[in-house]
Amino acid sequence: MFCGSERDGGEALRAVTHAANIRYDKAAEALCILDQSLLPNEVREVRLDTAEEMVEAIRALRVRGAPAIGICAAYGLYRLARTIEDPDPEVFQTQLRAFSAQLCAARPTAVNLAWALGEMENTAAAHAGAPRRVLLEALYEKAAAIHQDDIDKCRAISEYGLSLLREGDGVLTHCNAGPLATSRYGTAQGPFFLAAERGMRIRVFAGETRPLLQGARLTSYELHRAGVDVTLICDNMASMVMKNGWVQACFVGCDRVAANGDTANKIGTSSVAILAKHYGIPFYVLGPTSTIDRNCPSGDQIPIELRDPEEIKSLWYEKPVALPGVPCYNPAFDVTDHSLITAIVTEKGICRAPYTESLLF
């Protein structure tokens, strides 16, 4: 089904940019997420009540994308705080920190997870002497503020990102950094939705993103449904589309940006950056300042998640594509050296090298 924004007055576009990937139902005290692992074949919301369910959902990429896992964990910690019944404030704080550590351990690379949980822990500590009802309310307000803050930041990042593009440009993107991975417009894919809203013609090339196919399953799904001109390519086709002159810029998201600008993002991102340098194409990283890790001097200190080799051998849905005993190396992220990055776009503006100065304002 084609849902072009021109044909329906922008409704399809809005349905994508305003979809509720994470929703906290206050009346039911229920944390609900859109299960991204089922897309694009099935749209199903699932409810997460326990710490185990939340950790499983983050690990299995039911909820994924650096900002989205931070938002989910923030609401999740509030939800879990409600289950702490011990009246002793010290016990409450201890149990809350234990839940926070459990959620934080779900995935190591995206710093937004630890960042959002740290914000929640600080809020709890600041209300340590308050009655339980007041403390819980403060935690809910904080989670909702983290969510709203991401909506605002994504919009600002999208505006700055769009200012780097011209009518008719082709842009290559990798993985998924759109509404599903964030809230509303997204980061690296946000400018494409804004361009569509404004009738500006941009052609997007979305790398399929092996092994878990976030580009195929999620990015092309979101962009196509919104009426954005998107062409899905296999990751190994990037060089060819660049050589053909079809790409004027690369836009990617980020999971953790070190103080020197080295950037961890989905595995394969650094290959795109190296190709872009070869062809003289600008390579931009887009992400909120909550993805900058000031305590991490360079990419060498960023923990890279290693995932189950079966993900390589079984594709996403289908039969195995390799013998069961074949050893596999399956890192989920790689680090792009800051020297390959033309600029890092945050909600505060467009930061250029030296990043040790421009990022750490």
Question: Which CB sits closer to ligand MRU, 62 or 127?
Answer: 62
Q: In whole angstroms, how close is the CB of 169 to ligand MRU at the nearest point?
A: 20
* Cα–Cα distance measured from residue 175 to residue 189, given in angstroms and rounded to the nearest whole number: 10
Q: Is 270 in the site for ligand MRU (CB under 6 A)?
A: no
Part in contact with ligand MRU (CB under 6 A); list of ranges 18-26, 37-45, 180-188, 348-356: 180-188
Q: Is 266 in the site for ligand MRU (CB under 6 A)?
A: yes
Q: Is 332 in the site for ligand MRU (CB under 6 A)?
A: yes
Q: Is 181 in the site for ligand MRU (CB under 6 A)?
A: yes
Residue among 13, 31, 48, 61 that touches ligand MRU (CB under 6 A): 61
Close Cβ partners of 47 (under 8 Å, ≥ 6 residues apart):
30, 31, 32
Write the burial class of residue 137 (CB in 10 Å: 0-12 exposed, 13-18 middle, 19+ buried). middle
Write the burial class of residue 36 (CB in 10 Å: 0-12 exposed, 13-18 middle, 19+ buried). buried
Q: Is 253 in the site for ligand MRU (CB under 6 A)?
A: yes
Helix (H) or strand (E) holding 249: strand 249-252
Question: Which CB sits closer to ligand MRU, 74 or 177?
Answer: 177
Say how many residues touch ligand MRU, by CB under 6 A.
Answer: 18
Residue among 5, 182, 219, 289 that touches ligand MRU (CB under 6 A): 182
**Alpha-carbon torsion 286, 291, 297, 303, what sign?**
negative
* Cα–Cα distance measured from residue 356 to residue 139, given in angstroms and rounded to the nearest whole number: 33
* Cα–Cα distance measured from residue 165 to residue 273, given in angstroms and rounded to the nearest whole number: 18
Part in contact with ligand MRU (CB under 6 A); list of ranges 17-25, 128-136, 226-234, 249-257: 249-257
Question: Which CB sits closer to ligand MRU, 177 or 250?
Answer: 177
Part in contact with ligand MRU (CB under 6 A); list of ranges 58-66, 116-124, 132-140, 164-172: 58-66
CA-wise closest residue to 235 among 277, 190, 271? 271
Part in contact with ligand MRU (CB under 6 A); list of ranges 179-187, 229-237, 271-279, 319-327: 179-187
Q: In whole angstroms, how close is the CB of 183 to ligand MRU at the nearest point?
A: 10
Q: Is 123 in the site for ligand MRU (CB under 6 A)?
A: no
DSSP secondary structure code for residue 37 in this structure: G
Question: Which CB sits closer to ligand MRU, 304 or 350?
Answer: 304
* Cα–Cα distance measured from residue 182 to residue 136, given in angstroms and rounded to the nearest whole number: 25
Residue among 16, 71, 106, 110 that touches ligand MRU (CB under 6 A): 110
Please report, as a single letter, which amino acid is at residue 60.
A
* Cα–Cα distance measured from residue 351 to residue 343, given in angstroms and rounded to the nearest whole number: 6
Q: In whole angstroms, how close is the CB of 229 to ligand MRU at the nearest point?
A: 21
Q: Is 289 in the site for ligand MRU (CB under 6 A)?
A: no
DSSP track, 49-69: -SHHHHHHHHHTTSS-SHHHH
Of 150, 255, 262, 293, catalytic: 255
For residue 320 the two structure tokens come to: 């195995």
Active site residue 35: no
Length of the chain, in residues: 361
Catalytic residues: 255
| Binding site residues, ligand MRU, CB under 6 A | 61, 64-67, 110, 175, 177, 181-182, 187, 214, 253-255, 265-266, 332
